Each structure stands twice: as C-alpha cells, then as structure tokens.
Structure 1
C-alpha cells in the first residue's frame, strides 16, 4: 500500500499539517467502490463509498484508466493528472472513512485543462456527499 504525499512546500516556520492519502491497490476495494455511489463529469468519473466501521482509517483513493483512454503513454499521463488532482482536492473536500476511485475518460482526462479537472472533481465530490 502506497501513500500519496503532498508536494514539498517552502519552510514557513508553521507546523506542517499533512493529510496523506492511502492508495487503493486491491481489486476488491475497486470493485466495492464501483458498486457504490458514482458521479460522472466531463473529465473524470468518480466512484465513492463510505467504508464500514473499523474497516480502515483515513481517506483512500484509487486511480484507473482503461485502454479506451489511449495507448500506454496516454493512460500514464491521465493517471498522473488524476493523482495530482486528488492530492489537491481530496485533503480538503474528501471525507475520512471514504474510498474514492478516479476513472480517466477517453481523450479528455489527458487533454482537458488542469483547472477544469480540479473543478470537475470538486463538483463530483459535492454531488456524492450531498
């Protein structure tokens, strides 16, 4: 299990508050998320589920891109962008005790402006948690 850490920031003297995201690696976790809440946006498809009590702590996130997204280069670029969007948005808008799976979209996730991807994830999270 790997952990996504926020990018290093210059030392301001204030204590650092780190909300690290745990990355989903087991297929069973992805399948459980796919059977739960879903929200589509132009750039990202979000799957989310609230975990059972005692299952795990913190925010967990997974990333996936099928071959429909493109060749290996396009899929890797899309997943890199999804990871960065998750690093920026989930610590502030994600909920503790939830699993999120971000699914890349064909020809859109890799080419959409980054600000639009961030806005898409924020909008999807608002709708899922509403």
Structure 2
C-alpha cells in the first residue's frame, strides 16, 4: 500500500540543524592524508587519540576535513562500527564548533575506552584535545 500523494514542504525534506557546518566538513579518504595527519600534532586523551595538521598552500584550504580510524584492536566489526559512530557524533557535536578552516583532523579509537567511556566524558576529552592541538607552540 502506498501513502497518499501530498506536496512536500521544506520541513519534510529532511533538513539538517546546521547546513553551513556540514557543508564545509569533508571526510578524509586517502591514505596519504591519514599518514600526513599521523606525522603532525597529536593529542592523546583517555577516550581516543586526536591527530591534526594544517594543510599546505598546495592543498585546498577551504573547509575542515575529518577522518576516523578504528583498528581490529578495538574488537569485532560490531564494536569497531559502534566506536566509529560515537567518534562521528563527537566530531559533529564537539569538534566542528572549534575546528579551524584548512585543517585535517583524525580521530583514532582506543580499545575498550572509545566504546565504554561515557559520552559526556568523551565530550570533555574532545575539549581537552582541541585545546592541546591548537595551543601555540
């Protein structure tokens, strides 16, 4: 049975809370980008590891790029996927408001900690990691 036809309003279209923030966020997919971030600044916290680097002039400077890594050390596929979901939510909620334009960030899950740690503690960890990454050297 199909639902009756009706005109779609702007509210039915599945609008996001902040389209400006999501439009400038890009997901890292190339291995070379992950390796470059691994060689740059690191901020280990209890729930995860944050790696970040400022892109060079040769690379596109617009937007924030974020990558997520969860190795088999975390556990089986279900556990790794849960860890990645938590890291993605954490990036949207806590990283994007403080992220700098033209930077790459990589969130690396830690065994047991990323999945079992309270989400409020992960938010506090993110605030601490961002402060450490962007602290002047």
Does the pair score TM above 0.5? yes
Q: CA deviation at 1:54?
A: 4.5
Pairs within 5 Å for 1:15-94 = 18-20=20-22, 21-56=25-60, 57-94=62-99
**Structure-2 residue corresponding to 1:12:** none
Question: 1:90 deviation in Å?
Answer: 2.1
Tell me the distance in 2 between the aligned counterparts of 1:84 and 1:65. Answer: 15
Per-residue CA shift, 1:44-85, capped at 9, x if unaligned?
100000001251211000000111111110000000000000
Task: Please state whether the residue corresponding to 1:102 is helix, strand or coil.
Answer: strand
Q: Residue 89 of structure 1: CA displacement?
A: 1.4
Alpha-carbon shift at residue 17 of structure 1 (Å): 5.6
Relative to the length of structure 1, the TM-score reads 0.86
Under a length normalisation based on structure 2, what TM-score does the superposition of the two structures give?
0.82
Match of 2:91, SS state, is helix
| In 2: Cα distance, 1:74 partner to 1:91 partner | 24
Instruction: Give structure 2 stretches of 5+ with no counterpart.
Output: 1-14
- Poorly superposed stretches of 4+, deviation over 4 Å: none
Deviations 1:12-69 (A, max 9, x none): xxxx562121000000000000000011000010000000125121100000011111
Counterpart Cα distance in 2 of 1:84 and 1:95: 18
Give the superposed CA RMSD.
1.4
Distance in 2, matches of 1:94 and 1:104, equals: 19
Structure 1 gaps of 5+ residues are 1-6, 10-15
